[in-house]
Amino acid sequence: MVQLTFKRYEIKYLLTSEQKNRLRILMDRYMVPDEWGPSTVCNVYYDTPSRLLVRRSAEHPDYKEKVRVRSYGIAKPDAPLFVELKKKYDGVVYKRRCTMDVQRATDLLAGKGDPQTQIERELDFTCKRYGGLEPAFFIAYDREAFYARDDHEFRMTFDRRIRTRNTDLRLDLTDEADQYLDDDLTLLEVKAGGAIPLWLVKFFSAEGIRKVSFSKVGMAWQRVMESDLIQLRTPELAEAVWDRRGRVVGIPATCAAVA
């Protein structure tokens, strides 16, 4: 049965190829590969026209939320997609997801849908609160997933070739995009409802590995901000521009009252 709700801690680490290989050998005693095997995870993150959600997230608030549509591999025509609402409060991640076709997902996230289930109503409420959301970033990565032999809720995932684009924001085209993680690095995510097992703690200590703050969509946004000045697309601030730190640095006189 596909799991639709999650409540857990998600802790992230960056590993070199050598560290990953040593960890994989150790994991054979405690972890089991996911039944689906290695996969390519494709996501389209949704946001407001001014990218409010990702900008708020970059400020590391106590509470933040993300909305995305996900497929495993390039989406096939008429295949259902995962639509997810991901919230984080005080270090705990809450994820709600449902499946629907492309058209229903597009309508729902634009604030024009007809929600049928509790999770769909939560998504609908969130999107309408922002006036509807639009596709903002495509992010893909190659993933290996594992769960503990004695606890299916304890999971570890290895993500490589993390890549992004901000055009062609569809899941049925290609998973190729600009890579922003070095080939020698792997992002490890440890997902647990409670404490991390002692064997893993000892491994991190012996290897000198520390947790990192790493947001895939945050990195995608940073790549956008590192380009030339970004023009906002909100109707009321159509001519406003941002600097590389995400601050509005120019607003024409006709927009000054709105700003």
Instruction: Give the model confidence (pLDDT) of 41-71 as tens digits.
Output: 999 999 999 999 999 998 889 999 999 999 9
Residue 221 near residue 51, CB atoms below 8 Å: yes
Per-residue confidence band for 88, with pLDDT thresholds at 50, 70 and 90: very high
What tokens were used for 104?
């229903």
pLDDT at residue number 2: 56
Please tell me which residue, 30 or 231, carries the higher pLDDT value: 30
pLDDT band at 250 (very low <50, low <70, confident <90, very high): very low
pLDDT > 90? residue 199: yes
- Binned at pLDDT 50, 70 and 90, residue 224 comes out as confident
Segments of the chain assigned to CATH 3.20.100.30: 5-227
- Residue 227: the pLDDT is 67
pLDDT the model gives residue 35: 84
Yes or no: say if 69 and 44 are a contact pair by the CB < 8 Å rule.
Answer: yes
- Please write the tens of the pLDDT for every residue from 2-47: 567 889 999 999 999 999 999 999 999 999 999 878 999 999 999 9
Residue 235 has pLDDT above 70, yes or no: no
Q: Given this model, what pLDDT does residue 256 score?
A: 37
236 CB-near residues (< 8 Å, 6+ apart): 255, 258
Strands (E), the chain: 5-16, 31-33, 39-47, 63-72, 81-89, 92-100, 134-148, 151-165, 178-179, 185-192, 230-231, 241-242, 248-250
Homologous superfamily assigned to 5-227: VTC, catalytic tunnel domain (3.20.100.30)
pLDDT, residue 230, reads: 47
Mean pLDDT of the chain: 87
Given a cut of 60, whether residue 233 has pLDDT beyond it is no
Residues 108-124 have pLDDT tens digits of 999 999 999 999 999 99
Q: What pLDDT does 223 receive? A: 84
Looking at the predicted structure, is the pLDDT value of residue 242 above 70? Answer: no
pLDDT at 133 over 70: yes
Q: How many residues does the chain have?
A: 259
